[in-house]
Amino acid sequence: MPDNPLPSQMHFRYLSELVRTLVLVLVSLVVLSGGALAHPPADTAVTYDPGTGDLIVTITHQVDDSTMHFVKQVTVKQGDIVLIDKSYTSQPDRSSFTYRYNLPQLKGSSGEIRVDAQCSQFGSRSGTLILHAASATTGPGNAVPVVPAPTKSPAGEYVAFVAIGFVATRILQ
């Protein structure tokens, strides 16, 4: 009897491998597309008005449905101290909106104020404001403008999915 497999066995192996590959590709696309549809805020601008004591946070986050995809958490820190940690269940506008937080204790202070705006579906965006004691007491508009921080995205999740796909492919062979 010949050692070569029969043509029907070769055909079955080929189809089986093709089906496994297609299923793996489709599952990977579905899992990874969640990050493509959701996105972090595009910008987080921070200013301080020492006249009113308000920290003004303007967030740009373009969404289709602001009740399903929104900025869910805004955290304001001065150094390591959390000044505001506010949760939301929607955002007031589908593209750009402003929150005002009354923080009169910042008047006359100096240091870095960091604001993190976290998306309900994917990632976050940070903005920082550097307050200077001398300029913070002289009037509005003297604070240094925002220095945007990079977007935080769960890149580790993508690496894990690719690794799982690679391992699954090896196991199925």
114-125 residue pLDDT tens: 999 999 988 899
- 51 and 25 in a common domain: no
Regarding whether 66 and 20 lie in a shared domain, the answer is no
Q: Where are the alpha helices (DSSP H) in 43-149?
A: 133-136
Query: Which of 26-40, 74-88, 151-165 has the lowest average pLDDT?
Result: 151-165
Same domain (yes/no): 123, 59: yes
Range of the domain at 47: 43-152
Same domain, 60 and 144: yes
Question: Which residue carries 């940690």 as its tokens?
Answer: 85
Q: Which of 9-23, 58-72, 92-106 has the lowest mean pLDDT?
A: 9-23
Residue 1 lies in a domain: no
Percentage of the residues of the chain whose pLDDT score is greater than 90? 40
- Considering only residues 76 and 152, tell me which one the structure prediction assigns the higher pLDDT: 76
Looking at the structure, tell me whether residues 163 and 139 fall in a common domain: no
Answer yes or no: do 96 and 167 share one domain: no
> Based on the structure, what is the number of domains in the chain?
2
Q: Are 148 and 127 in contact (CB under 8 A)?
A: yes
Based on the fold, state whether residues 89 and 164 are members of the same structural domain. no
Digit-coded pLDDT (tens) for 35-50: 456 788 999 999 999 9
Residue 117 lies in a domain: yes
Phi-psi region of 58 (alpha: psi -120 to 50; beta: other; left: phi over 0): beta
Is 78 among the domain residues? Answer: yes
The answer to whether residues 33 and 52 belong to one domain is no
Instruction: Give a yes or no: residue 105 inside a domain.
Output: yes
* Residue 2, domain member (yes or no): no
Average pLDDT, the chain: 78
Residue 139 clears pLDDT 50, i.e. is over it: no
Q: Which pLDDT value is given to residue 133?
A: 76
What's the CATH number where 88 sits?
2.60.40.10
Looking at the structure, tell me whether residues 83 and 102 fall in a common domain.
Answer: yes
pLDDT of residue 116: 96
pLDDT, tens digit, 9 for 90 and up, residues 59-93:
999 998 888 899 999 999 999 999 999 999 999 99
On whether both 101 and 128 belong to a single domain, the answer is yes
Q: Are residues 26 and 111 in the same domain?
A: no
Same domain flag for 162 and 111? no
Q: What's residue 33's pLDDT?
A: 54
pLDDT of residue 160: 61
pTM above 0.85, yes or no: no
